[in-house]
Every structure is written in C-alpha cells, then in structure tokens.
Amino acid sequence: MLSSAAAADKHLVYFGCYTNAKSGSKGIYVSKFNSATGELSDPELAVETGSPSFLTIHPSKKFLYAVGEISAPGQKGGGVSAFSINLPDGKLSLINQVSSVGAGPCHVSLDKTAKMAMVANYGGGSVASYSLGANGALSEAASFFQHEGSGADPKRQEGPHGHSINPTPDNQFALACDLGLDKVLIYKMDPASGKLTTHGFGTVPPGSGPRHLAFHPNGKFVFVNNEMLMTETTFAYDAQKGALKEVETVSTLPAEDRAKTGLSTAETVVHPNGKFVYVSNRTHDTIAVFACDAATGKLTLIQNASAEGKIPRNFCLDPSGKWMIVAHQDSNTAALLKVDQDTGKLSFTGKKVPVGGSVCLRFLTLD
C-alpha cells in the first residue's frame, strides 16, 4: 500500500497532438511521471481521435475533454469530445462528441464546479459553452457567441479569432482572449445552466494578439501572452465588478532579439508559489522566465531558457512545481526541465520523450 505522499508523487501526463502525416500521431497519448525521481515514460496511445489540440481534465479524474481541429461528420464547425479515463493505465474511451459550432476549436476549459465546459474557436472567432452530465457527457451548445470586429494588423486581425476561454478563480466570470480583436472578453458564467452571458472586456495594446492567460494564485492579477508582439500583459482583476485594468505590458524576449520577426508566444503558466511566470516563445524556441511581484503584478524577465525543441506550445508544471514538461510541435518530442524553487530558473534534465505533433499536455495525479 502506497503512503499518501508516495501516491501523490505519481502522475499520468496526457498529450494532445496534431494528427497528420508530419507528426505521425493518432490522437491523445499518455505517459507516467514520478515527481520524486523525475522519471518520465515514453508516451503510449490513449485513444485515437482527430487532432486533439487542447485538453482539460475533470477534477473527479474520471473524464477528459478535448477539442478536435477537424470538421466532424454532420456537424458545423469542429468537434468537442468527452472521454472516460480508465485507471490505472490512463487509456481513454469516447463518451460523446458534439459540435464546437464555430470553425477551428483550439481551447477547452471547465468551470471550477465542473458543471460546464467552454470552448474557443479560432477560425470561427467565437466561443461556446456546454452543460456536463453526471456521466461526463457534453450537452449540445448551451450558449454561443460570435465575436465581431477586427484589429490593427490587416493580415492577422482581419476578423475575430477566439484563442482561449478560462474561468476566473471566483468562478463568476470567464475570460476569452480574442487574437483578432486585441480584447479579453468577459462573460458571466451560470454553471447550473451551462450558459454564458456578455459582461465586458479588457484591451491589450493594438496589434498584440492576445492568446492565452493564467491567474496569479492570489486572484488579483491575470497574465496574458500576446502572440503577435511577443509580450506579456498584466491585468489587475476586480472580482466584484468582473473587470480588468492593464497594469503593464513587457517583452518576452531578451533585448537583443526584440527586433526579430516571425516569432510568436504560445502559453502562460504561473508557478504555484506565485513568484514566477513562464511564457513559451515559438521559433525563438525558449521559455521566458519572469520574477513576479505579488503586490503589484509586475514582471521582471530573468531568463530565456531553451525549450529543447522546435515550436514549444503548451507546457505545464507538475503539481509540486519542481518540474516542467514542454510540448514541441515541430520536433515531435516533449522535454523535461527542472525548476529551481528559489530562483524560478529552468535547466534541462537531459530527458526527452517522443510524441508526434504534441501541442498540449495535462497532469493527472494518481491517488
């Protein structure tokens, strides 16, 4: 019988992948990870499914949800799928799949009570929400919102491009980054009905292209990575009003590389201790490491660590905050990095695993 501490060291790691000829992947893959030893097993196929580019796990550990960047038969837009998790091996079984309503779904999240799911559609420039059944099944869309407008860049921001949607820590609102509008749209959540209603928005500097976000553990600040200008915007979050106010915007690149073109950010992760914020820089192929002032939300760039692969996308810290796994879209690998708990800086462990077209990963702690 494992002690509770030993059990908490053991995790499954799920990888969402693009399924194409270049990647060779067939769907969602799963590895085993031991946070006490740093052992990471080679991923195995958990379920075959089309281009599951973003994943989220139900807090009960019974269900996993994925968007599929494909057109499902008889459906408008892409697909959103619910899977049951079979422990201890972590293999997945399809429960059901529904339409994302808009084209190109690229992000999925659950509210804090896990009664509803939310999806952002990049190609369609929209968001949708769903109720979750007791068996983990997704309802048809309970609400849908088509974003309207354009941004400063006529090529990249000719129209709306929903890129992510996440609940606020108080579970009252959902924040949706729209790359095409330079806005973080704010929706009121109703988990009981699975519905969203419009509430307001925050703005980033013109031409920034907001993509993903993460909250500080204190709930007072939210950090948004801007894909197009290689920047990170800090917002102060007013929980009572459901409002965002920009604090500052800083570069994710070292000074000598800030004039480079063809780069883009992908993901933001905040360390559980609230002292550090991490951002992935694609093509620059680094993870930007920031020191964070918890009182002001302001960031100071302290390192650009090699991502140890091409086109780092989503990455995650393990629950202990001691390790980081980075998914590499173009290298068809994922790398394990060590996190210095005092400085927040990253170092490569020498460990990589093969996983084709990996773009998202999620930890599930085994009991």
pLDDT in tens, the chain (367 residues): 344 455 589 999 999 999 998 999 999 999 999 999 999 999 999 999 999 999 999 999 999 999 997 665 555 679 999 999 999 999 999 999 999 999 999 999 999 999 999 999 999 999 999 999 999 999 999 999 999 999 999 999 999 999 999 999 999 999 999 999 999 999 999 999 999 999 999 999 999 999 999 999 999 999 999 999 999 999 999 999 999 999 999 999 999 999 999 999 999 999 999 999 999 999 999 999 999 999 999 999 999 999 999 999 999 999 999 999 999 999 999 999 999 999 999 999 999 999 999 999 999 999 8
Single-letter code of the amino acid located at 257: D
Place of tokens 């031409």: 207
Residue 247 DSSP one-character state:
E
Give me the DSSP letters along 295-358: TT--EEEEEEEE-SSSSEEEEEE-TTSSEEEEEETTTTEEEEEEE-TTT--EEEEEEEEE-TTE
Is it true that the peptide bond before 88 is cis, omega within 30 degrees of 0? Answer: yes
Single-letter code of the amino acid located at 24: G
Q: Give this prediction's pTM.
A: 0.96
Place of tokens 């002292």: 275
Say what the pLDDT of residue 4 is: 44
Alpha helix stretches (DSSP H) within the chain: 4-8
- Residue 42's Cβ-count burial label (10 Å; 0-12, 13-18, 19+) is exposed
Q: Are strands 195-203 and 210-215 parallel, antiparallel or unpaired?
A: unpaired
Say what the pLDDT of residue 75 is: 59
Buried b (16+ CB within 10 A) or exposed e, 74-89: eeebbbbbbbbbeeee
Type and span of the H or E element at 106: strand 105-110
Two tokens, residue 47? 């379920």
Cα dist. 235→102, 173, 178, 203, 222 in Å?
A: 28, 15, 15, 9, 5
Residue 255 DSSP one-character state:
G
Could you give the CA distance from residue 327 to residue 310 in angstroms, rounded to a whole number? 9
Could you give the CA distance from residue 126 to residue 303 in angstroms, rounded to a whole number? 35
Two tokens, residue 238? 């007013």
Could you give the CA distance from residue 260 to residue 256 in angstroms, rounded to a whole number? 9
Could you give the CA distance from residue 308 to residue 312 in angstroms, rounded to a whole number? 8
Q: Which domains does the chain have, with CATH numbers?
A: 47-309+336-347 (2.130.10.10)
